[in-house]
Structure 1
Amino acid sequence: MSAPAVVLVGPPGSGKTTVGTLLAERLGVTLRDTDADVEAEAGKPIPEIFLDDGEPAFRALEAAAVRRAVAEHDGVLSLGGGAVHDPETRALLAGLPVVFLDVALAEAVRRVGLDVPRPLLAINPRQRWRALMEERRPWYTEVARAVVETAERTPDEVATAVIDALEHHPA
């Protein structure tokens, strides 16, 4: 059975996709993003899944995508920001090289922008992001082997910090 080399978790705007791409290049592996898997499975973008089918349908697709990716992918795995909401997903991540990319609100807003379609951030994005982080932070830290602060770091510096963190926190 293979397991991901690195699993990245964190809120929208933390840099999971950007940093994941750099990590995959450095480690000589591929990046798999479970949000992209969900969109491929559903045949439509995540905002449309939320609108057409509702958040519970999206969360079910997301949990299934994470299960498949953890079982099949041996490269860098980037999880959607809310994937840790599911207790079965958190249990599945136990023992894996999970890194929580932590980011401050102001930085996340700058990175994400407020015009990007993100269903859970559609109304009052700053307040909603803060509320999501209050809810999810304990789950991110529960599943993480290491926490990497992204504030005032370039994506390349964050990728280096992820590799260093995993070397200092082996399984």
Structure 2
Amino acid sequence: MGAGKTTVGRLLAQRLGVVFRDTDEDIERSAGRPISEIFVDEGEEGFRALERAAVRAALSGHPGVLALGGGAILDPGTRALLTEHPVAFLDVGVHDGVKRVGLDAPRPLLAVNPRARWRELMEARRPLYLEVARAVVLTDGRDPGEVAAAVLEALELMTA
């Protein structure tokens, strides 16, 4: 959360001349409501089931840049699928991450004590991100263009 997956993903797709896709947007479009409502109505477990299906569909048929929701990595099946693709982990520190998501943003998992909860989520997820990432790019203190350039370089996707 707050690493810039969507913003950087759009820039990467533009620079590579491919289509961008965000699985959170796919979920909201297919469910016809925002993720925050899905969490309220179906709980995290219901949302994660929709997320698994969205990620699986996107990975099997999308030829461009794909941004996943921050918790998609929790699913072992998703992690297995990701090992077949060039994955970049956009690593963000707590200060920048919380600042970027905002303490009043509609993020269900940050509803109570956002700073502490963000830390807990990252401590649980970071090893999983590292498990599948071919590249780790630190985003702290960088603008999205700098992060996109670092991803391209790290994944050796720069075209001549």
Q: TM-score range by the shorter chain?
A: over 0.9
Determine the C-alpha separation between the residues in 2 that align with 1:95 and 1:149: 22
Q: Deviations over 1:56-84 (max 9, x none)?
A: 11000000000000011011000000000
Runs of 4+ in structure 1 off by over 6 angstroms are none
5+ unaligned residues in a row in structure 1: which ranges? 1-11
Residue in structure 1 matching 2:88, options 78, 81, 99: 99
Within a 5 Å distance, the mapping from 1:7-156 to structure 2 comes to: 12-156=1-145
Determine the C-alpha separation between the residues in 2 that align with 1:126 and 1:107: 11
Determine the C-alpha separation between the residues in 1 that align with 2:148 and 2:100: 17
Aligned residues: 157
Q: Normalising to structure 2: TM-score of the pair?
A: 0.96
Identity value in percent: 67
Determine the C-alpha separation between the residues in 1 that align with 2:45 and 2:143: 35
5+ unaligned residues in a row in structure 2: which ranges? none
Q: CA deviation at 1:109?
A: 1.2
Q: CA deviation at 1:41?
A: 1.4
Amino acid at match of 1:36: E
Q: CA deviation at 1:40?
A: 1.0
Q: CA deviation at 1:33?
A: 0.2
Determine the C-alpha separation between the residues in 1 that align with 2:75 and 2:134: 18
- RMSD in angstroms over aligned alpha carbons? 0.9
SS of corresponding position for 1:80: coil
Residue in structure 1 matching 2:147, options 158, 162, 168: 158
Q: CA deviation at 1:45?
A: 0.3
